[in-house]
Structure 1
Amino acid sequence: MPTLPIPLFGSLVLVFMLVALLRREGQSPLLPALLAACAVQGVIISLAQHYEIGAFRNIQPVSATIIPALAWISFQGTAIRGPRWRLDIWHAIGPLFVLFCLINAPAWLDVSIPILYVGYGSAILLISMQGPDALPRLRLGTGDAPTKIWCIMGLCLIGSAFSDILIVAAQLAGLSAWQPWIISLFSTGILILLGALALSDSLIDPDQSVPLSPVQIDTQLDNDLMMRLDQLMATQRLYLNADLTLTQLARRLHVPIKQLSIAINRKTGENVSRYINAHRINAACESLRTGESVTSAMLSAGFNTKSNYNREFLRKMKMPPSDWIRLNERVHETT
């Protein structure tokens, strides 16, 4: 048994993360709720495993299953469709089933809890792997960062199920003394990692109240839709807004997000994020030609991270910004 309640230390770290998250303006309540649940779970684990309080040993498996359900609700509510509480409440079935198992069939806990973690984690992972267009509520300027973060979150949930498998293996091998160590180290590490990921600026949902339109795909409208989109980009330069989302674009064009996403993909061969970033790179090049610094051109063009700016610049212009500036200067000198 660890001499110090490691999960309790982890909960303290998560509380500081939660305070930082709550200080952000316009923050959706879903991610703070996930972070708070992780912090509470750390306290419960400490009371159950370190202080050996029997009541919390019974609470621990039920409270543990709230986290994957809340992670899924946060994923859906901030990245895809917005909160839908009447639909989301059905995810309480998982914790209620675990409570039923705890009372009537404790042996099922070793199976039901890992299944919930693997199920929710796999669902988040599979959707996130589809790319930025699968997360229409998140800012296009963040590039691939949100998809990578949610992929890692999905893997964390799957990894948590692996810790349950290790516990069962330790019990079968007669190494029950290892159980508190496995729970303390695995749970604390995964909970802190989930909290740190939830704290990322890339997961901010700037458009919390916009419902998504039903999907209606008509390929004959692609050309007209792209003409309207290109005109909107040229006249209103929406790409300069660092908080621009696919949902906002679809609303301005009065079309479902899926139809807009598919039209862009068919006509340009790129996803929505890269389409917008191409316009931003063109705007950045205009600023660089006037003598603006690389950082100033990046910010004025709608990028908010240097890594995404450099990556998109290299992808479109086939060279980093510094080399492009030198090449542009040589062209001017020769003319």
Structure 2
Amino acid sequence: MPRPVFGIQVVTIRISDNTRQMPMLPIPAFVALVLGYLALRSFLSGRRPLLVAFLAACAVQSGLVTLVGGYGLDVLRPILPVSATLIPPLAWITFQDALVRRLSPRAMAFHGAAPAFTLFCRVFAPETTDVVVPLVFAGYGIAILAQLRGTSDMPLARLEAERVPAVIWQVLGWALIVSAISDVLIAIAFATGHAGWAGWMITASSSLVLLFVGMLSGSPSAAGAEGPERDAAPDAAAPPRETQQEDVEIVARLEAFLRREPLHLDPNLTLARLARRLHLPEKRLSTAVNRATGNNVSRYINSWRIRHACTLIDAGASVTEAMLDSGFNTKSNFNRAFLRETGMAPSQWRVRAREDAKVTPIAQVGTPP
């Protein structure tokens, strides 16, 4: 297989008949450094081990591409397809762990079949790896998209973020599919004798896609709630017949619970935790809130948070204080929810609250005791 065109690029600069050569960092090496930094930062900040492992795998893969394509270490070339097929299963496991459900070690080990089968093909039928690798990437990408399509609420996602985690992982699912398509195009380029095209496609697919996937998965919104799920209680069985009246009763229970215990002010609140506290299945609570209020659970909880934030701002709190004390960690999420609920930005609400506070004492002048 011809060596890809990326590697130590050399820029020739002619100055007064003297020629200098300037080595430049290969694109995959730069990507490996960025992904390694993201993995280290996630590890030091106490993020979930699976997310750290996923970012580290992306960094290692980009590093291997650098060593093979940029520095000519062809002895490592057989490892590339096997190490590449570690990434889609890790993406799926990280997605499940962050937003859907905790996987048992046995369930995680099952997904080791993808790189194991790729290794088998690489040893006994090397020509089949050009088919196996794209199928692994496409299969896991489609699985992520199918999971997101089947539900409006992610049980383990922070309710503060609303649909942002789902959108991020939707993009990541498509990124895996795009990588599979690029692998097919690379194989076609080599088969048709256009190795030069293949080199640039390898640079784009193995580097830019990895960088894109790593940076998105490193987003706080993609990682779900931090820390273990608390307040665990066995889920109750869903009622055999779900009626509109039952939905209203469930929402009334939820409202009474939030008035009694303001759990909505916890920024790490998830659908799973809320359902456990109400002794309801996650799907049942989500369905009841959706049908009774017209909103999903994330928007419903955030409406409670915004009402609390408005009260704090009216009492003289700053916008940042109101945001943090109302269960929001991200300013963009807070601003978006505030605008949707009130029709104005938090800063505008604060200005109006100050103006109202100035008018009120004047109106009270001359009022009998």
Deviations 1:235-255, CA, capped at 9 Å, x for gaps = 111111111111111111122
Distance 1:106 1:80 in 2: 36
C-alpha change, 1:130 and 1:212, in structure 2 (3 Å) is: farther
Partner residue in 2 for 1:275: 300
Structure 2 gaps, min length 5:
9-25, 364-369
1:289 lines up with 2:309 in the alignment: no
Q: Give the match for residue 113 of structure 2.
A: 93
Alignment of 1:183 with 2:202, yes or no, is yes
User: Is 1:169 the equivalent of 2:194?
Assistant: no
My pick for the range that moved more, 263-272 or 165-174, is: 165-174
Report if the CA contact (8 A) 1:77-1:84 is conserved. Answer: no
**What amino acid sits opposite 1:285 in the alignment?**
C
Residue 275 of structure 2 is aligned with which of 234, 250, 254?
Answer: 250
Preserved CA contact (<8 Å) 1:129 1:147: no
How far apart are 1:303 and its partner, in Å?
1.3
- More moved, 166-175 vs 215-224: 215-224
In the alignment of these two chains, the number of paired residues is 333
User: Which residue in 2 is equivalent to 1:6?
Assistant: 27
Equivalent AA in structure 1 for residue 130 of structure 2: D
1:242-276 CA distances to partner (integer Å, 9 max, x unpaired)?
Answer: 11111111111122111111111111111010010
* Post-superposition offset of 1:47: 2.5
> Does the aligned pair in 1 maintain the 2:229–2:273 contact within 8 Å?
no
- Mapped partners of 1:215, 1:33: distance in 2: 34
Of 69-78 and 50-59, the range deviating more from structure 2: 50-59
Q: Is the 8 A contact 2:165 2:224 kept in 1?
A: no
Give the distance between the partners of 2:134 and 2:48, measured in 1 at CA: 28
Measure, in 1, the Cα distance between the counterparts of 2:236 and 2:210. Answer: 36
Q: Is 1:72 aligned to residue 92 of structure 2?
A: yes
1:214–1:251 distance in 2 versus 1, CA, 3 Å: closer
Where in structure 1 are there 5+ consecutive unaligned residues? none
**Aligned letter for 2:307?**
N
- How far 1:327 sits from its partner (Å)? 4.8
Partner of 2:141: 121
CA distance in 2, matches of 1:167, 1:216: 51
Equivalent positions of 1:313-324 (< 5 A) are: 313-324=338-349
- Tell me the CA shift for residue 182 of structure 1: 2.0
> Is the Cα–Cα contact under 8 Å of residues 250 and 256 in structure 1 kept in the other structure?
yes
Aligned to 1:18: 39
Larger Rg: 2
Q: Which moved more, 1:182-191 or 1:265-274?
A: 182-191
> Do 1:170 and 1:179's aligned partners in 2 also have CA atoms closer than 8 Å?
yes
The letter of the residue matching 2:208 is G
Return the offset for 1:315: 1.3
Amino acid of the structure 1 residue aligned with 2:301: I
Partner of 1:39: 59
Q: Is the 8 A contact 2:328 2:334 kept in 1?
A: yes
Query: Given residue 277 of structure 2, which amino acid in structure 1 is its aligned partner?
Result: R
Identical aligned residues as a percent: 42
Could you tell me whether the CA contact under 8 Å between 1:42 and 1:188 is conserved in 2?
Answer: yes
| Cα pair distance change 1:52/1:329, threshold 3 Å | closer
2:286 pairs, out of 261, 278, 282, with 261
Q: Aligned-pair distance for 1:103?
A: 2.5
Q: CA RMSD in A?
A: 2.3
Distance (Å, rounded) in 2 between the aligned partners of 1:18 and 1:206: 16
Where do 1:128-207 residues align within 5 Å? Answer: 128-129=148-149, 133=153, 135-202=154-221, 203-207=223-227
Greater per-residue helix proportion: 1
C-alpha offsets along residues 155-204 of structure 1, whole Å, 9 cap, x if unaligned?
A: 22112112212212312432123333322332111112222122211114
Give the CA deviation at 1:32. 0.4
Partner deviation per Cα, 1:104-140 (whole Å, 9 max, x = no partner): 333322222111111111221233356661x211211
Assess, with a 3 A threshold, how the Cα gap between structure 1 residues 160 and 331 changes in structure 2: closer, same or farther: same
Q: Is the contact between residue 140 and residue 176 of structure 2 (CA under 8 Å) also seen in structure 1?
A: yes
Question: Deviation string for 1:75-96 (max 9, x for gaps)?
Answer: 1112111132111211112112
- Relative contact order higher in (CA < 8 Å, ≥ 6 apart): 1
- In the TM superposition, residue 66 of structure 1 has moved relative to its aligned partner by 0.7
Partner of 1:112, secondary structure, is helix
C-alpha contact (below 8 Å) 2:250/2:288 kept by paired residues: yes
Provide the TM-score with structure 1 as the length reference: 0.91
Which position in structure 1 is the counterpart of 2:79? 59
Contact 1:41/1:63 (CA < 8 Å) preserved in 2?
A: yes
Structure 1: which amino acid aligns with 2:29? L
